[in-house]
Chain A
Amino acid sequence: MSNAGISAGNQNHPIKTVREAINEALHQEMERDPTVIILGEEVAGGAGCKGSDEAYGGVFGLTKGLGPRFGRGRVIDTPITESAIIGAAAGAANTGLRPVAELMFVDFIGVCFDQIFNQAAKFRYMFGGKATTPMVIRATAGAGLRAAAQHSSMLHPVLTHMPGLKVVMPSNAYDAKGLMIQAIRDNDPVCFLEHKLLYETSCPVPDEIYTIPFGEAAFCREGSDCTIVAMGAMVPRAILVADKLAAEGIHCDVIDPRTTSPLDSEAILESVEVSGRLVVVDEANPRCSVAADISSIVAEHAFSALRAPIKCVTAPHTPVPFAPNLEDAYMPSEARIEQAVRDVLGAR
């Protein structure tokens, strides 16, 4: 358990966006370790056109500048071929490199799922510990940009379900940098899910290299009345609700697990032991989800501490709709989070 999270970047540090923080982490690790390579669609900038070869740097600009700085031998533009991208990353990871592969949108994981689930995730165990697969799969995730059903999913529950994978979901720029550096140095395959709505959010981020260990939740707010566990883009929403309620004298712990695999269940259980109330906020669909998993862990290990039924605030069990009013209703809102906290506080 640590109190890092949003407050950890000291006010003297420069303000950086999540996009800049991840970009800086990639620069620093590539500088430090020549075995780190990047591959994906337009990650180096695009190629084979008549104009600039630096039009992109990943479509969201996360890898901007890496191609010119480290050369196209280490920052590799690929065709549209996700299975081959992830397969190459996994094979290279087994044989001496530390690839960071980009899936433009996490939804495209469907195209290359075998290479992740049957291959990368299983090598170390299946080969009796004789293989290591130090690779990172970076992917943009989540709803909110009106990108509709095939470009808006949150798939961390699917990935968290799989033994062998680690799953990281930064909620702010400070964590994003430290977690990315950790992800690159980790010896297991790591899925690093970047929420679209967070890319331009910012906070103080040190220029220096630092890591944030996996499996250590951050306490973004502290209070003993209710425990709110929130992930990814839901963290800033949960914080806003907690701050609003604090003005009324209702004080909540806001816990950001930061990694869903491994999960810091200890931090959550300790908080619930005190508050007796739990609200889990997650943008993913509700069934067999991380929210359901956290609820079950608490029900199993802190049942006697609970003073109210657990509430989960999630997306409905539907794909992501296109129409803006429907998409807004799909995502957990501050109003729904607030209502859930009031409900668990009201319950006896």
Chain B
Amino acid sequence: MKYSKQLLVEAYKTMTTIRQFEERMIKEFMAGNIPGFVHTYDGQEAVGVGVCMHLSDEDIIGSTHRGHGHCIAKGCDIELMILEIMGKSGGLCKGKGGSMHIADMDKGMLGANAIVGGGPPLVNGAALSMKTLGKPDVAVSFSGDGSSNQGTVMEALNLAGVLDLPHFFVFENNHLAEGTGDEYAVSGGIAERVRAFDIPCDKVDGTDFFAVYEASKKAIKHCRSGKGPYGIEADVIRYDGHFIGDPQAYRGEGELEYLREHKDCLKIFRARVTSEGWMSDTELDELDQHAADAIEKGVQRGLAAPQPSADELYSDVYSSY
């Protein structure tokens, strides 16, 4: 067997947790239990998990508006995430950040980011800390195809290249930025852009956990060994709307059905591990059930939790008037 059982279990457990977490967030949002704007990560699990399985709490990730999956993959507590996403007391950010600003510094999760392209410059800073303090850690930024068009992202690439920072740039190309396709909005290619900064960049099938896992292993080894930044462009799909409630009129006839049938990274994982004889359907089903139970428990806790206390409005800022 090419992969240890422990690794396979961990990978599937995390991917199914993310999938079911997002499906449940959609349900709870529709039921009016989640305020605000929520962007779900379902469909892209293989990327977040394939990358973060190589990371420890000391390593740092910088996420996007679509951050739940990155949080879970980085080890954030799902109950505290649910409290946060519901705007409740005790949430990861005390209910003050919400889905778009969820963060957990203890887990090396530098934050979701509601400003497209806001993350990579910050992750350069995390990488600079590591390099300056002589740590062997790596900093990882996640960006979308849409995000790859921001000047901030290109500036971050250049600076990472100039300073040889241990920054792993992960581009998740789901071919959509809201209702704009990469075919229209990205002039040239994403991997080609990264390479233009003299940063190696591999294209990888983002629906295949094992492909992402292997590519990330190589990239992270490169970064940790002081050779500077590395990139991947993962070809993925967005499995749902841009945000929960998106009517998705920009989808083609039968597009979603096709993607769900043929490009679902969980189905692809299951087919691979069962056909290789690495895991059985029963084992996988059990992991599904465990994840469902944990999420159910978190949702019940979230629903029952109190709102943040009124004085939290004035806390965590240097001065209030």
Contacts and interface: CB of A to CB of B under 8 A. Distances in A.
Nearest to B97: A322
B87 to A, nearest CB: 4
Interface string B177-190: 11111111110000
Interface in A8-24: none
A346 interface: no
A46 to B, nearest CB: 3
A317 B319 contact: yes
Contact of B180 (A49, A110, A146, A329): A49
A321 interface: yes
Contacts of B98: 146, 148, 322-323
Interface string B40-84: 000000000000000000000000000000000000000000000
A154 to B, nearest CB: 16
Nearest to B243: A59
B96 A323 contact: yes
Contacts of B7: none
Contact of B115 (A46, A145, A150, A286): A150
A316 B101 contact: no
- Kindly state the interface size class of chain A when it binds its partner: 35 or more
Contact of B97 (A46, A149, A329): A149
B313 A322 contact: no
B174 to A, nearest CB: 12
A149 B114 CA distance: 9
Interface string A45-82: 11111111111100100000000000000000111111
A49 B252 contact: yes
B179 A81 contact: no
A324 interface: yes
Interface in B287-318: 307-308, 310, 312-314, 317
Interface residues of B, number: 53
A287 to B, nearest CB: 7
Interface in B85-107: 87-88, 93, 95-98, 100-101
Contacts of A150: 100-101, 113-115, 118
B320 interface: yes
Given A80-B150, A108-B115, A55 B255 contact: no
B115 A111 contact: yes
Given A46-B250, A50-B255, 12 more contacts: A48-B180, A49-B252, A56-B250, A80-B149, A108-B115, A111-B115, A147-B37, A149-B97, A149-B114, A317-B320, A322-B35, A326-B312
Interface of A: 41-42, 45-56, 59, 77-84, 107-108, 110-111, 145-151, 286-287, 316-319, 321-326, 329-330
12 contacts: A46-B178, A47-B184, A48-B184, A51-B252, A59-B178, A79-B149, A79-B186, A80-B116, A148-B114, A151-B37, A322-B98, A323-B96
Interface of B: 35-37, 87-88, 93, 95-98, 100-101, 113-118, 146-147, 149-152, 176-186, 247-253, 255, 307-308, 310, 312-314, 317, 319-321
